[in-house]
Structure 1
Amino acid sequence: MSSIDIRGSWGDELKGRRIALCVTSSVSCYRAPDIARLLIRHGADVIPVMTRNAARLISPEIMRWATGNDPIVEITGRIEHVALTESEGKVDLVLIAPATTNTVAKIASGVADNSVTLLASCALGAGIPIIIVPAAHDTMLFNPLFTRSVRILRDAGIKIVEPVMEERKAKLRPPEEILEVVIETLMPKPLQGRRFIVTAGPTRESIDDVRFITNASSGKMGIEIARHLKRLGAEVTLIHGPTGEKIPRGVNAISITSADEMVSKLLEEAQRTRPDAVFAAAAITDYKPSERTPGKIDSRSQESITIRLVRTGKAIQMLRKASPDVDIVAFRAVYGPVEDPVAEFRMLQSEAGVMMIVINDVSRREVGFGSDLNEVTIVTQSLKILKTGMRPKKEIARIVVDTYLEEKARVSA
């Protein structure tokens, strides 16, 4: 498929953005087409820029195919570096991935002797954001002259994405992590200096030391909310139960297991951080065994067992009591369609003083628990009702956050 066919197919976070993808002669340059295609799938227009040595390792024709744009290998009389940093067609960001230690040292020293270093020099002067993703052997990475170069670049406002250390090599970060840094860099930061807590995932209540009661929550919804808040510049604490999902970089993640641990950490973090709001997206277990049996219950000696369950504490009610001023966005999982969402809101507002609720029907297999999709109904304290329709959870997260911010602005006006 061409770059036009795939543009925006996975998201629109980079829609309308032009990104110069600079490729240097690290062996990791074989990942460059994947990085380019991922950026395009999230809406970007990618301009490939390559050093001569990089063009010996990976054909410029591959980068032309990957991006749909002509690769810049040599700077000619068309002064491509100026066109990309000063004209109407200038780029919004320069991404150097992979970056050799040689390239890092040159940029830090102000050397501009090839297409990549010249573009970086001009972008730095033009105030265009630069992200550098190094890849090298560990001995080169720990060279004090290299670490000094990194400090110089960071002092100049350039972002350095640390490599992954494996097999005594500093390997290129996965394309998905590079994408996240690009999106976060380019997104506006209206929530700079504001703090939020998000809860996510299930909790587990032990029957014995081996068995437990839980639910099917994956934590994806809460994690996507935390990711979006972080992208908007917020300080985010994510309190999550057991999950196999990847936690966003830059988020203060706290792992818990049980409902009691969730409540304890929630109250502790609310007192410590004084957040603007709590997005209570965790699926906290409603009941737990009244007693935990030490060791493992022997199934050979007992044909059946009876477990007495007791109700767990309601986290948002205890949060409201401990933090009277915090905004609470409560998630409510229901089984089957809800006929009166306003009644659901008023019930939770009465119980915990919530500002907004997000209702999702977990009886549908194609959405909700474990799925990448969701469909929710949002009710705010101004009694605005918003039905999202079926969407990826990352889009639902944006809608939830944006709706909260709109409601907060209305209340504060």
Structure 2
Amino acid sequence: MTTLYLFGSAAPPVFDIAEVIKAGQGRGWDVCLGLTPAAAHWLEADLLTLEELTGHPVRSEYKVPGEPDAWPKADVILVAPATFNTVNEWALGLTSKFVVGVVAEGIGKGIPTVVMPCVNASYVRHRAFDRSVAELREMGVTVLYGEGGFVPNEPGERRPYPWGLALDEVEAIVGARP
């Protein structure tokens, strides 16, 4: 069975994460959920339900050194939704957050990783964002941004988040496994 680490940041699509977990499980994946601290706060009332759904603890903090890992090893990582902050921290190697630390290390371990941002058009006008996207791509991360991926909306504008694109990309990388 393929183990997917699904990592979410504090952007509105994170509220759909239970359905995304179910969709991943429907594709035959063992899904482990990690959240940025802000996303964990947003989903605080649902964390136990999400743990029951995945069969694994929901993680948003680093474990204590020497403590056994609560999750199986990842076959693939999906970071979605990924905020402006998460994308920039990751590209710069700023790993104070568990989610960013795992994906930064995942690059070095050769774990296939997909990221789909969720940022508005005002954020992407900041030069750091394009540099960060380019840096992640150069490190081998599949970035679903722009045509064929996430297209930023204007601030306050709501469009459906293209979760299906992200799941399809993960499936293309690891294939459907029973």
Q: Report the TM-score when normalising by structure 1.
A: 0.38
More strand by share: 1
Residue 6 of structure 2 is aligned to residue 18 of structure 1: no
1:176 to 164, 168, 176: 164
Which residue is 1:186 aligned to?
Answer: 174
1:33 to 2:33 alignment:
no
SS in 2 for 1:102: helix
Instruction: Give 2:53's match in structure 1, choosing from 46, 55, 66.
Output: 66
Counterpart in 1 of 2:90?
107
Partner of 1:248: none
**1:99 deviation in Å?**
0.6
> Which residues of 2 match residues 317-396 of structure 1 at below 5 A?
none
Is 1:138 the counterpart of 2:121? The answer is yes
Give RMSD over aligned pairs.
2.4
Tell me by how many angstroms 1:115 deviates: 1.1
CA contact (8 A) 2:118 2:152 kept: no
Aligned-pair distance for 1:166?
4.1
Look up the SS of the partner of 1:73 in the other structure.
coil
Aligned residue number for residue 124 of structure 1: 107
Give the alignment of 1:207-286 within 5 angstroms: none
Unmatched 5+ residue regions in structure 2? none
After TM superposition, give the deviation of residue 93 of structure 1 in Å: 0.7
Query: Secondary structure of the residue that 1:63 maps to in structure 2?
Result: helix
Higher RCO (Cα < 8 Å, 6 or more apart) = 2
Give the structure 2 partner of residue 409 of structure 1: none
Corresponding residue of 2:136: 153
User: 1:173-204 CA distances to partner (integer Å, 9 max, x unpaired)?
Assistant: 422222111101113xxxxxxxxxxxxxxxxx
> Is the 2:120–2:152 Cα contact (8 Å) retained in structure 1?
no
Q: Is 1:97 matched up with 2:105?
A: no
Q: 1:47 to 1:138 in 2, by over 3 A?
A: same
State the match for 1:56 in structure 2: 41
- Higher fraction of helix: 2
Task: Report SS of the residue matched to 1:32.
Answer: helix
Per the alignment, in what secondary structure is the counterpart of residue 136 of structure 1?
Answer: coil
Looking at structure 2, the residues matched to 80 and 31 of structure 1 have their Cα atoms a distance apart, in angstroms, of 31
User: Structure 1: which 5+ runs fail to align?
Assistant: 1-15, 188-230, 232-413
Q: Distance in 1 between matches of 2:153 and 2:14?
A: 17
TM-score relative to the length of structure 2? 0.85
Number of equivalences: 169
Using a 3 Å threshold, how does the CA distance of structure 1 residues 145 and 79 change in structure 2: closer, same or farther?
farther
Q: What letter is aligned with 1:26?
A: A
Contact 1:136 1:170 in 2 (8 A): no
Moved more, 106-115 or 58-67: 58-67
SS of corresponding position for 2:114? strand
Deviations 1:310-360 (A, max 9, x none): xxxxxxxxxxxxxxxxxxxxxxxxxxxxxxxxxxxxxxxxxxxxxxxxxxx
